[in-house]
Amino acid sequence: MCICFPTGATDTKSVSQKPSFTILRTGESVVSEINCSHSISSYDQIYWYKQDESRALKLLGYLYTNIQNVEEDVKGKISFDGDGRSGSSLSIAAVGLKDSGVYFCAASLHSALHTHDPEL
């Protein structure tokens, strides 16, 4: 089984993942072995995705500053830590064949829509 991690582009604002790939036996766990970092000072979130043989990206969850938000269907299987302002590590418990795929991370700026009700 191969779990692959594409590397990011190199420039002054970059996101990178290390290692570029890892090969594991079924039943092993990946503990803080998949790392993502970015150099974009205004960004405070790191998103984690998985791409399997169907080529579709599935959101695994995200890290907003140091708050972990894991999607319900992968809780207990996937976890991550770190700080969305700089870097994160992804862990996968008890790796199985269904975990084969390409794992991506992305950095983003948290934004929220604020609404204002005008006074009448």
Q: What is the pLDDT of residues 7-59, one digit of tens each?
A: 554 446 788 888 888 877 788 777 667 899 999 999 999 999 999 888 999 99
- Cα 110 from Cα 63, distance rounded (Å): 10
pLDDT band for position 110 (50/70/90)? confident
The tokens describing 81, both together, are: 């830590």
Q: H/E element holding 103? A: strand 101-108
Q: What is the mean pLDDT of the chain?
A: 82
Query: What per-residue confidence (pLDDT) applies to 115?
Result: 44
Measure Cα distances from 100 to 7, 14, 91, 108, 118 in Å: 17, 26, 14, 26, 52
The pTM of the full predicted model, rounded to 2 decimals, is: 0.78
**Residue 112 pLDDT > 90:** no
**Residue 75 pLDDT > 80:** yes
- Cα 119 from Cα 101, distance rounded (Å): 52
Between the ranges 4-8, 24-28, 90-94, where is the mean pLDDT highest?
A: 90-94
| Helices and strands of the chain, counted as H and E runs | 0, 10
Q: Which amino acid does the sequence have at 56?
A: A
Domains in the chain with CATH codes: 2-10+28-108 (2.60.40.10)
